[in-house]
């Protein structure tokens, strides 16, 4: 039994909310990266919905080779193994689903209304500051299923961030209700929010997310550069690709890349 996560309380909340995933939750005092544990499990009989939750990661990874920095015990660092029918390209759109699920979890903790937005491809922001990051890594499993390792870093209790993370925030810094910041209920809420969106996503792909995304899209209406492409954020197509509106009104589709803001004052 560890002091920072009570499996019995988690189980009670999981059953009460009818959540299926999270059986089991594997707790780690310290590990290099929970995503590595998820990736290793793909080739074993490990079932869909297993969670690895670490108090400390010594080699936490973000997108594009960055490090994910988190003071031990303050924040949630976890990975979920999901096995879903292919194809492989589903993985990139799934990160939008995870972003919306995290957005819902964050909203449920705050005491005052805030702007909680998904920033394509993998961030969730509160009033323009990053509160959560997503790293999905995928492989084809032994049954040709798509095995997704959904890595989530959610800043929960951190009050201070290192100087290079000044655009970061946490739930505790944003007027969250302290009674709603226990890791057991946050994890159950996240699994619930993921499970609720997944069936429609498996049927219709990212198109199933477009209405919700339109309401919570941080990039919409902002002048952006992604790689060689420039334009105004104009939502997403039904495959979950970012759309940029060009000066002549035409739309450009962006599959992946790092977003830069052309208006210097835009946060993020
Ligand atoms: C990003 O913002 O670039 C994505 C960050 C993802 C961090 C999480 S923490 C749990 C899981 N394990 C990792 O090594 N990374 C993800």
Q: Find the 184 Cα to ligand 1 centroid distance in Å.
A: 19
Instruction: Specify the pLDDT at position 263.
Output: 87
Ligand 1 pocket residue status of 34, Cβ below 6 Å:
yes
Ligand 1 pocket residue status of 79, Cβ below 6 Å:
yes
> What is the token pair recorded at 113?
């209304």
Confirm whether pTM is higher than 0.75: yes
Q: How many CB atoms lie within 10 A of CB 264?
A: 5
Residue with CA closest to ligand 1 atom 2 = 133
Average pLDDT of 218-245? 97
- The pair phi, psi for residue 9, each rounded to 5°, is -65, -40
For residue 95, the Cα-to-chain-centroid distance in whole angstroms is 6
Q: What is the pLDDT of residues 236-257, one digit of tens each?
A: 999 999 999 999 999 999 999 9
Cα angle, residue 233 at apex, residues 231 and 239 outer, rounded to 5°: 110
Residue 98 has pLDDT above 80, yes or no: yes
Residues 6 or more apart in contact with residue 223 via CB below 8 angstroms: 230, 231, 232, 261, 262, 263
Beta strand residue intervals within 122-161, DSSP E:
123-126, 129-140, 146-154
Mutate-to-test residue for ligand 1 from 40, 123, 133, highest number of ligand atoms within 8 A of CB: 133
Ligand 1 pocket residue status of 72, Cβ below 6 Å:
no
Instruction: Specify the pLDDT at position 58.
Output: 97
Residue with CA closest to ligand 1 atom 11 = 151
How far is Cα 220 from Cα 178, in angstroms, rounded to an integer?
Answer: 32
**Which DSSP symbol is given to 170?**
-
How far is Cα 122 from Cα 196, in angstroms, rounded to an integer?
Answer: 19
Q: What is the pLDDT of residues 44-56, one digit of tens each?
A: 999 999 999 999 9
Mutate-to-test residue for ligand 1 from 135, 161, 167, highest number of ligand atoms within 8 A of CB: 135
Residue 121 has pLDDT above 60, yes or no: yes
Of the chain, the percentage scoring pLDDT greater than 70 comes to 98
Ligand 1 pocket residue status of 151, Cβ below 6 Å:
yes
Q: How many CB atoms lie within 10 A of CB 40?
A: 12
């Amino acid at each position: 039994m560890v002091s920072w996560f009570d499996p019995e309380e988690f189980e009670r909340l999981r059953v009460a909310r009818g959540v299926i995933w999270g059986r089991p939750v594997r707790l780690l005092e310290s590990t290099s990266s929970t995503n590595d544990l998820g990736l290793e499990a793909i080739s074993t009989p490990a079932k869909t919905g297993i969670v690895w939750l670490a108090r400390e990661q010594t080699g936490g990874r973000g997108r594009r080779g960055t490090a994910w920095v988190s003071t031990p015990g303050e924040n949630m660092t976890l990975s979920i193994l999901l096995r879903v029918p292919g194809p492989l390209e589903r993985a990139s759109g799934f990160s939008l689903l995870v972003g919306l699920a995290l957005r819902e979890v964050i909203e449920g903790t705050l005491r005052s209304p805030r702007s909680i937005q998904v920033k394509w491809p993998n961030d969730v922001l509160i009033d323009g500051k990053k509160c959560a990051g997503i790293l999905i890594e995928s492989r084809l499993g032994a049954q040709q299923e798509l095995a997704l390792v959904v890595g989530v870093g959610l800043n929960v209790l951190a009050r201070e961030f290192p100087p290079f993370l000044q655009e970061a925030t946490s739930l505790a810094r944003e007027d969250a209700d302290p009674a709603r910041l226990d890791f057991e209920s946050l994890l159950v809420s996240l699994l619930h929010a993921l499970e609720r969106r997944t069936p429609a996503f498996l049927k219709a792909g990212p198109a199933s997310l477009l209405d919700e995304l339109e309401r919570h899209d941080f990039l919409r209406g902002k002048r952006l550069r992604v790689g060689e492409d420039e334009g105004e954020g104009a939502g997403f197509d039904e495959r979950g690709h970012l759309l940029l509106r060009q000066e002549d009104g035409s739309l450009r589709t962006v599959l992946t890349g790092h977003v830069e803001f052309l208006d210097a004052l835009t946060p993020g």
